[in-house]
Amino acid sequence: MEAATGTGSEAGFRARLRQRFRKWVNRRIPPSRSVTLDQKRLFIFPSGVGFFFVLCLFVMLLAAINFQNNLSYGLTFLLATLFVLAVLHTFANLSGLHIQAVRARPAFPGQQTEFELQVSRVKQREHFAVYFRFAEGSSARLNLVTEDSGRITLLAPVEKRGWHNPGRLRIESTYPLGLVRCWTWIDLDLHALVYPRPLASAELPGLATDQPDGAAIPVPGSDDFYGFRDYRAGDSLRQIYWKGLARGDKVQTKQYTAYADRSVWLDWEMFPGLAQEQRLSHLCFWALEFDRQGQEYGLRLPDQSIVPDVGERHREQVLQALALYGIDR
C-alpha cells in the first residue's frame, strides 16, 4: 500500500511538473493562428549525435595531449569550434520561418484529420530538413531552397466527436551538422471538427415529412428522374449529367422527383430511449445515407433545425450540427 502511494505521489509530482512546464510554454508561446519563429520561441540543445561527437572530440584531445601533437590539437579545436558554430547555424535554419494555419479537415472518429499549414520564410535564407509533428500523428518534412513558401499536410488520428485540438505542433531541425537540435512547440490554435461515429440502424423508426403532422413515409427509391438544372456548387458528383458534359454541354445536375417533393426530416425524437451519443451516431449514419442517395433531408435537434436540402455544403452543415451538439467551444 505504501509503495503504491509512493509511486502515486511521484506520478503526481511528474504531472505537476509537466503541467508547470506546459504553463510556462503557454506563457512563452501563446496560441496564435500564425507564428514567426525567433529567439523567444526556439530552444536549442545538443542532440544525441552531438554528445557522441563531443565524446569523439574528447578522444581526439586525449590523442593530441598524449602524442604532444600540435596539429592534432588544432584539428580538435577546429572541430570543437565547428560544434559551437553549428548551434548558430541550426538556430538560423529555423529562425525566420513563418508558420500559418491554413485549414483543418473534418473527419470521423478512427480516421485521421488533415491539417494543412503554410510555411514561408521571412528572410531570403535556405532552410533544410525542417520536421513538423504533432504529439500523435504523422510527421512532415520541408525544405525551402528556391521557393519562398511551402505547404505541409499533417495527419492526426481522432477519436472523440467535437473539436479536436492536436496539441502543440513540434517543429525541429538538426541541419546542417546534426550536432545540435533546435526545436519549438507552437500552438496554431488548430481545431478539426470530428463528426459522430456513424452507427447503422436497420431502418428509420419513423420518417417525418415537410408537413409537421405528416405520417412516416417509407424511404423512397428516389429514382424518378424528372429533369436537369444547372450545376450548383455542393451538388453531389453522382448526380452530374456526365454524358452531357462529355458532349461539351455545360455542367448539369440530374434531378429526381425526390428532391422536389419528398424531403425527409431526421429527428432527434426518432430514437427514443437511446443515449445522446447513440442518437447522434444513428442520425449521422442516416444523414450520410440520404446524402449518398441524393435524397433531400433536414435535421431537427432539440436546439436547432436545418431545413431539408441536398449537396456537400448541406451535408457539412448537418454533420457539424451533429458533431457539436451539446458541446460549447
Least distance from another protein to the Cβ atom of residue 24, Å? 25
Is 239:227 a contact under the CB 8 Å cutoff? Answer: no
Least Å distance, CB 99 to another protein, is 15
- Our CB check for another protein shows the closer of 86 and 299 to be 86
We find the least distance from the C-beta atom of residue 94 to another protein, in angstroms, to be 12
- Asked if residues 97 and 142 have their Cβ atoms less than 8 Å apart, the reply is no
DSSP 238: G
Nearest of 21, 316, 28, 29 to residue 189 by alpha carbon: 29
Report residue 121 as a C-alpha cell: 520564410
Q: List the end-to-end C-alpha distance of the chain, in Å, as a whole number.
A: 41
Q: Which is nearer to another protein, 63 or 219 (CB)?
A: 63
Of 141, 130, 53, 69, whose CA–CA distance to 97 is shortest? Answer: 130
Q: Number of C-alpha atoms within 13 angstroms, CB side, residue 245?
A: 11
Binding site for another protein (CB under 8 A): 49, 52-53, 56, 59-60, 62-82, 84-86, 88-89, 91-92, 95, 102, 120-125, 128-129, 131, 139, 141, 143, 148-149, 151, 174-178
101 or 310: whose CB is closer to another protein?
101
Nearer to another protein, 124 or 304 (CB): 124
In angstroms, what is the minimal distance from the CB of 25 to another protein?
A: 23
**156 to 106, 202, 222: CA distances (angstroms):** 11, 32, 38
Of 57 and 240, which CB lies nearer to another protein in the complex structure? 57
Q: Residue 45 or residue 225: which is nearer to another protein going by CB?
A: 45
Q: How far is the CB of 87 from another protein (least distance, A)?
A: 10
Half-sphere exposure of 188 (CA within 13 A, CB side): 29
Residue closer to another protein, measured from CB, 174 or 281: 174
What are the φ/ψ torsions at residue 59 (nearest 5 degrees)?
-60, -40
Beta carbon of residue 168, minimum distance to another protein (angstroms, whole number): 19
As a whole number of angstroms, the distance between CA 17 and CA 188 comes to 23
Q: Name the helix (H) or strand (E) containing 312.
A: helix 312-323
- What is the closest distance, in whole angstroms, from the C-beta atom of residue 72 to another protein in the complex? 5
